Amino acid sequence: MSPLAEISRAYAPRFAEFAFEPGFTAAVDQHVAELRERLAAGGPELVPRPPTHEDLADYALGFLDALAELDWREPVGHDYAVCRLTAISWLVRQHGLLPEQRTDGD
């Protein structure tokens, strides 16, 4: 399973928490903004371009590797890693980065 599919399977269900966890929603939104800027770094645009599957997958692999090195375990609630992984999942869904989400025939 691809890292983006794995992260989406695990963290997309957390989107339901947005309805009653405004602090979590705000934190994930900040992570989404930071990821968009990081992945589009170096571009001349005022608005970051949408992430590509390859760029986000590369980032996700590195992030998952770092979590494994730290022996991170998902806590009850939300920490930095949960917010970051939920943000990755949000970007995947928002931009249709998994084959089953694409509607343009890619």
Question: Has residue 106 been placed in a domain?
Answer: no
Question: Has residue 10 been placed in a domain?
Answer: yes
CA distances from 94 to 15, 20, 32, 70, 76 (A): 12, 21, 11, 29, 26
Question: Has residue 105 been placed in a domain?
Answer: no
pLDDT, position 45: 65
pLDDT, tens only, 31-75: 999 999 888 866 666 667 789 999 999 999 999 999 999 999 999
In which domain, by residue range, is 23 found? 3-99
The answer to whether the pTM exceeds 0.75 is: yes
Q: How confident is the model at residue 106 (pLDDT cuts 50, 70, 90)?
A: very low
- Mean residue pLDDT of the chain comes to 90
Cα(47)–Cα(40) distance, rounded to whole angstroms? 9
Q: How confident is the model at residue 1 (pLDDT cuts 50, 70, 90)?
A: confident
Q: Are 91 and 51 in contact (CB under 8 A)?
A: yes
Instruction: Tell me how many domains the chain contains.
Output: 1
